[in-house]
């Protein structure tokens, strides 16, 4: 299996063969299922509210003049109303809706759901689940990771590689500091996402503990 979002996998949108696929429930959530069906996806799901703030931080880094998070995430004048699900950073966390679309192309047995939080806390265990799901030998284990406290993410160390064992960490755009968001805004987001999260738990058979 090749790496990267542009790596082609056998079959296409209508392929319901036995080959397992790993579908993203975060970065690719806004992409149509036909696009996902034709490409390998490689990211797991993260707490929706945190994901929205992370996406906003990335936008803010690129466009410093971006309006305040609250005015984009909440409707009404100056962001005092209910959550606005049309904003892409909010919509991306509606995982149950995206999964419903993907189920038209993939049977449940071909799907594996990886927790973004667990991937940070216990990378070897989560990567082990992926290797098992894909029918691969467990070539990546505890000895291949170390935690980068600066970025707040684990880094990968290749054993016996031609790079002298140098660690491979996420790019400079990852692990950036998040802007301060008013607690009331975050609480509004949590309430908004709660029923969507519970539906997603029922669909996947796994409680990700986001509520």
Per-residue model confidence as pLDDT tens digits over 59-113? 998 999 999 999 999 998 767 789 999 999 999 999 999 999 999 998 988 899 9
Query: In the prediction, which pLDDT does 163 show?
Result: 58
Between these two residues, 175 and 198, which has the higher pLDDT value? 198
Residue 51 annotated as part of some ligand binding site:
no
Reply yes or no on whether the pLDDT at 159 is more than 80: no
CB 166: neighbour CB atoms within 10 A?
Answer: 10
Closest CA to 88 of 66, 65, 106, 104: 66
Annotated binding-site residue? 175? yes
Domain residue spans in the chain?
33-139+185-204
Note the pLDDT tens digit of each residue in 187-200: 999 999 999 999 99
Q: Taking the model in full, what pTM does it have?
A: 0.72
83 has which bridge partners?
A: 74
Q: How long, in residues, is the chain?
A: 211
Q: How far apart are CA 93 and CA 26, in angstroms?
A: 7
What is the Cα Rg of the chain in Å? Answer: 18
pLDDT of residue 147: 86
The annotation status of 137 as a binding-site residue, yes or no, is no
Measured CA to CA, the distance from residue 1 to residue 61 in angstroms comes to 33
Q: Is 16 annotated as a binding residue?
A: no
pLDDT of residue 78: 67
176 is in an annotated binding site: yes
pLDDT reported for residue 166:
73
Distance between CA atoms of residues 19 and 109, nearest Å: 9
Q: Which pLDDT belongs to residue 52?
A: 94
Domain 33-139+185-204: what homologous superfamily? P-loop containing nucleotide triphosphate hydrolases (3.40.50.300)
Can you give the pLDDT at residue 17? 46
Cα 167 versus chain centre, distance: 22
Q: What's residue 179's pLDDT?
A: 87
């Amino acid at each position: 299996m090749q790496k990267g979002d542009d790596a082609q996998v056998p079959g296409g949108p209508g392929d319901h063969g036995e080959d397992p696929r790993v579908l993203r429930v975060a970065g690719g959530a806004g992409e149509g299922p036909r696009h996902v069906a034709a490409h390998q996806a490689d990211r797991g799901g993260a707490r929706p509210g945190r994901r929205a703030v992370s996406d906003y931080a990335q936008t803010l880094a690129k466009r410093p003049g971006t309006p305040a998070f609250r005015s984009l995430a909440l409707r009404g004048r100056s962001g005092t109303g209910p959550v606005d699900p049309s904003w892409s950073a909010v919509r991306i966390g509606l995982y149950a809706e995206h999964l419903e679309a993907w189920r038209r192309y993939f049977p449940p047995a071909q799907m594996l759901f990886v927790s973004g939080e667990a991937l940070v806390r216990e990378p070897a265990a989560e990567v082990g689940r992926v290797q098992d799901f894909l029918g691969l030998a467990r070539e990546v284990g505890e000895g291949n990771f170390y935690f980068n406290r600066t970025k707040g993410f684990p880094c990968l160390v290749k054993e016996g590689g031609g790079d002298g064992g140098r660690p491979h960490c996420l790019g400079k755009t990852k692990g950036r500091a998040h802007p301060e968001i008013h607690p009331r805004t975050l609480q509004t987001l949590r309430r908004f996402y709660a029923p969507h999260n519970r539906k997603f738990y029922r669909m996947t058979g796994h409680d990700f503990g986001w509520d």
